[in-house]
Amino acid sequence: MRRPNTVIEDARVLTADFLPKRMVHRNAQVTEIKRNLEPILDDGTPRNMLLYGPPGTGKTTMAEYVVDELKKHSSNVVSGSVNCWRYPSRFKVYYNLLQDFGTNIIHRTGTPTDELVDKFKSKVGNRPSIVILDEVDQIEDERILYDFARESNTALIMIANKETALYDFDDRIRSSLEGTKHVRFPEYTKEQLVDILEDRVKWGLRDNAVEKSMLHRIGNRADGDARIAINALRIAAERAEAEESEEISQEVIENALPAAEEENKSKSIDQLNRHQSVLYEIIEEHGEIKPGELYEEYSDEVEDPKVKRTVRKYLSKMDHYRLINSEGEGRWRTYMLQS
DNA sequence: ATTCCACCGGAATAGCGGGATA
DNA sequence: TATCCCGCTATTCCGGTGGAAT
């Protein structure tokens, strides 16, 4: 027989991806997104958008929240979202969108991308549609943006950390995206993080499972990042639960914070291949290391070393994962672990 | 002032895996 | 079965960069 939970009421509420019924402290952004999207409901042309701001500020969550709300009002609207960092190629973007749009496609390695594009276009037709492109600056083929921007019944919601995300694209793409609304997502303040956590506590934890002062501790140390704050709360709750205590102690909270940050990291580390983890370990060992020495040690370590250019690609990938950092340029560059 | 050096990163190219086609 | 096609990854090629060496 399962013993009753001591702390957790509803575990789903404690994940960062969970979509709460109401959003706190993002009214301005939610309203703005809604306003730009709404014309789509009466066959008007929606505004394309760029949502920008640091990690954990609710960009993706708010976009999905608004789209969900909108779909409740009109069953005709179709939508999909892709993370362009994980799925950067034209093929993968369309593949994922088609799945979100409810088209079952058998994946064959020989399927030409154009076939997917055609399928997508016929699926959408004249229906109002919304496409969310997360980490849009990582997109490999700019044609994707151009294609969507030309569809007047498709609303494009692009998400990036920096407002300058679109600057690097070529003129043709940029001019087709002219009129894109920029919506800023600032870091949450400590107090706002506490509010967000309180909401999760209310629905996710049993009554009196955690004191408010504990939430303030999380808020103070989460660096304005709601994802880290929520994950810390979840980890703390799980650990308290495992200890069969009825309340989350201060000690558990303190330990949960670094664990929440570590969790992001180890998730990324798991994605690395053998060569990449060797590189990671060498950098870890040295603390700081120059490119030349790094490559030398790496090629000694593995029996089938990749070529230098490939290693540079690996390193920039790990940089993007926020696993490592680099300072300086050219041969004066230093690689180190992300602090 | 000029050349050298070590590295960066974009672009073109090659090779691979695997489904489709004849 | 042999061949073609496609996307993806790794490799090759190369112009650019900026401090060091001459």
Per-residue pLDDT at A125 exceeds 70: yes
Q: Residue A54 CA to nucleotide C20 C1', Å?
A: 39
Sheet containing A324-327: give its strands across.
A288-289, A334-337, A324-327
- Nucleic chain B: which protein residues 272-331 of A have CB below 7 A from it? 290-292, 295, 308-309, 312, 315-316, 329-331
Q: What is the DSSP letter of A215?
A: H
Give the nucleotide at minimum CA-to-C1' distance from A110: C6
N- to C-terminal Cα separation, chain A? 45
Nucleotides of B under 7 A from a protein CB: 5-11, 17-20
Q: Residue A308 CA to nucleotide B11 C1', Å?
A: 17
- Mean pLDDT across A197-221: 95
Give the pLDDT confidence of A299-332 residue by residue, as tens digits: 999 999 999 999 999 999 999 999 999 999 999 9
The reply to whether A2 has its C-beta less than 7 Å from any atom of strand B is no
More confident residue, A123 or A159: A159
CA-closest candidate to residue A184, choices A59, A64, A85, A63: A59
pLDDT of the residue at A107: 67
Give the nucleotide at minimum CA-to-C1' distance from A107: B19
pLDDT of the residue at A167: 84
As a whole number of angstroms, the distance between CA A74 and CA A42 comes to: 10
Q: Residue A296 CA to nucleotide B4 C1', Å?
A: 22
As a whole number of angstroms, the distance between CA A329 and CA A12 comes to: 45
Nucleotides of C under 7 A from a protein CB: 4-8, 10-14, 16-19
Per-residue pLDDT at A111 exceeds 90: no
How many C-beta neighbours within 10 Å does residue A223 have?
16
As a whole number of angstroms, the distance between CA A91 and CA A113 comes to: 5
Per-residue pLDDT at A16 exceeds 80: yes
Banded pLDDT at A273 (limits 50, 70, 90): very high
Banded pLDDT at A21 (limits 50, 70, 90): confident
The reply to whether A212 has its C-beta less than 7 Å from any atom of strand B is no
Report whether A308 contacts A302 (CB < 8 A).
no
Mean pLDDT, rounded, of chain A:
93
- Mean pLDDT across A185-205: 96
pLDDT of the residue at A1: 53
Tokens of A63: 């976009």
Per-residue pLDDT at A298 exceeds 60: yes
Per-residue pLDDT at A4 exceeds 80: no
Considering only CA atoms, which residue is closest to the C1' of nucleotide B21?
A: A110
Q: What is the DSSP letter of A45?
A: P
pTM for the predicted model, two decimal places:
0.91
Give the nucleotide at minimum CA-to-C1' distance from A95: C7
pLDDT of the residue at A339: 77
Banded pLDDT at A173 (limits 50, 70, 90): confident
pLDDT of the residue at A106: 67
More confident residue, A165 or A216: A216
Task: Output phi, psi for A233, to 5 deg.
Answer: -60, -45
More confident residue, A242 or A171: A242
Q: Residue A168 CA to nucleotide C13 C1', Å?
A: 24
The reply to whether A186 has its C-beta less than 7 Å from any atom of strand B is no
The reply to whether A4 has its C-beta less than 7 Å from any atom of strand B is no
Instruction: Decide: residue A56, CB within 10 A, 0-12 exposed, 13-18 middle, 19+ buried.
Output: buried
As a whole number of angstroms, the distance between CA A35 and CA A294 comes to: 51
Give the pLDDT confidence of A229-263 residue by residue, as tens digits: 999 999 999 999 999 999 999 999 999 999 999 99
As a whole number of angstroms, the distance between CA A165 and CA A51 comes to: 10
- Nucleic chain B: which protein residues 74-133 of A have CB below 7 A from it? 106, 108-110
Largest CA distance in chain A: 65
